[in-house]
Structure 1
Amino acid sequence: MNKRQQNKEERLNRIIEQAELLFLKDGFERVQMQDIADAAEIGVATLFRYFPKKDQLIVAAAVRNLAPTLETFKKLTTTPGDAYTRLEAILDYLLEQQMKQTNHSRFREAFESYASFVTSPLPDIDDYIELQREIMKTLEPLIEDGKTDGSLRGNLDVKATVVTIINAFGTFGNNIILKSHISYLKEDIEPFIQQRVLKEMLLAYVRP
């Protein structure tokens, strides 16, 4: 990559990074392209050359937000160990991310809510959908081993069960943490405890 291409790539990354921060802080609808250009320290005309529409930038920020999950899933689903151990490692990773990176989870929840309410599909939304598909594809080694290595209950539909467990755990964890400041009082059971309980319930279901 030559210097010009490198500068262009760095500028693109800075635009998306600043956009994500502003979207999270002020909401997708309130943030203007001029706000993003100012935060990225570029002219608004330059910003429009990268992203002709704000919704394209919103999707790009969502893809950037989700991309680290793909790399981590690739690693966790191919590490040594039986299917049960790797499934537990994925749940532990999701739990850790939910507890440590609330802004990360907040953005994803906000984006998916925004995308579901727009009147027409967002431009480039297929990039986000394809990334989700790639994340699910990383589960294939775990699923295949789960059918034969004896670490999961023998009468399960392994693929349906594994995918459902991961989706359910991720959705519940994000939801309970995001709403903890308005839904839970001191005397209630802490979100982390509820997540641990759900994790044990889900894993108990698949044990032989």
Structure 2
Amino acid sequence: MGIAERKEREKEQRRQQIIDAAEIVFFKHGFETASMDMVAEQAELSKATLYMYFKSKEELYFHIFKRGEGLLMQMIEREVQKSHTFQEKLLGSLKALVRFQKKHKHYFDVIEFFHSMHRQKTSVKKLMDSHLKEEQERIKLWSDLFEKGKADGVVRPDLNPLRAMVVIWLQFTGFLQRYQLLADSLKQDFGLSQEELLEEAYDLILNGILKK
């Protein structure tokens, strides 16, 4: 390995160490309260060194967002690859999202918060624009699933794959977000567990998609 390659590898290792430190800070304090000073202290670096690698806390948060999205897509892709029917692939994808939210709650919250930010801040929008290709690949994974379901005669022929995918994703992520806030009252006042509500949601989704 040459000197240039070694330096580049060391630089990338330092970048990942900074992101690791930023995760600790952001997960503990949230985006609004966290600061570059906190990240520098956690990473045991000077603030000047930190800014050599990342220009802003938005950029750092973006890289945590990308980590979370990458992990989520790995979980979904594994479900799609090991399943056979359209129903198995779709439900497997949704159940992977549920597992992700339970096992990696901080990443789930970062993803949802970052998506809510990117229309409000120009700096964040630029970061998301650079991420467009990856977003399109994720959308294509689901669109292809619906197209295959239509070709196999399983999915309603009038269904628009892109619109259906977006609606289901918004419904499901919205459900998971709201349930976090209402879990105790739903259980105490109505005796409804998340598992029961999820089974109902899966049934409603499939009934709205599958060809009769």
Q: TM-score of the superposition, structure 1-length normalised?
A: 0.83
Distance 1:110 1:34 in 2: 21
Higher mean displacement: 90-99 or 167-176 = 167-176
- CA distance 1:147–1:186, change in 2 (3 Å): same
Q: CA deviation at 1:49?
A: 0.3
Q: Equivalent residue for 2:188?
A: 186
Q: CA deviation at 1:167?
A: 3.1
Q: Equivalent residue for 1:11?
A: 14
1:52 match: secondary structure: coil
2:189 match: secondary structure: coil
Contact 2:143/2:165, CA 8 A, preserved across alignment: no
Q: Equivalent residue for 2:88?
A: 85
Distance 1:150 1:116 in 2: 38
- CA distance 1:11–1:192, change in 2 (3 Å): farther
Asked whether 1:48 is paired with 2:51, we answer yes
Q: Equivalent residue for 2:106?
A: 103
Q: Equivalent residue for 2:172?
A: 169
| Amino acid of the structure 2 residue aligned with 1:28 | F
Asked whether 1:141 is paired with 2:133, we answer no
2:20 match: secondary structure: helix
| Amino acid of the structure 2 residue aligned with 1:16 | I
CA RMSD between the two structures: 2.6
After superposing on structure 2, the runs of 4+ consecutive aligned residues of structure 1 that deviate more than 6 Å are none
| Amino acid of the structure 2 residue aligned with 1:144 | E
User: Would you say how many aligned residue pairs link Structure 1 and Structure 2?
Assistant: 206
| Amino acid of the structure 2 residue aligned with 1:39 | Q
What fraction of aligned residue pairs are identical, expressed as a percent? Answer: 24
Could you list the per-position Cα deviations for residues 54-96 of structure 1 after superposition, in whole angstroms to 9, with x for gaps in the alignment? 2221222212221122333444444452322211211111122
Distance 2:198 2:175 in 1: 8
Contact 1:67/1:131, CA 8 A, preserved across alignment: no
| Amino acid of the structure 2 residue aligned with 1:112 | H
Q: Flag the structure with higher helix content.
A: 2
Could you list the per-position Cα deviations for residues 114-170 of structure 1 after superposition, in whole angstroms to 9, with x for gaps in the alignment? 44444x342423234443322111224312211211222344334432342233212
Higher mean displacement: 43-52 or 142-151 = 142-151
| Amino acid of the structure 1 residue aligned with 2:164 | T
Contact 1:33/1:54, CA 8 A, preserved across alignment: yes
| Amino acid of the structure 1 residue aligned with 2:163 | A
- CA distance 1:36–1:183, change in 2 (3 Å): farther
| Amino acid of the structure 2 residue aligned with 1:145 | K
Structure 2: runs of 5 or more not aligned: none
- CA distance 1:88–1:59, change in 2 (3 Å): same
1:202 match: secondary structure: helix
Contact 1:33/1:44, CA 8 A, preserved across alignment: yes
- CA distance 1:192–1:62, change in 2 (3 Å): same
Distance 1:84 1:181 in 2: 27
Distance 1:116 1:182 in 2: 32
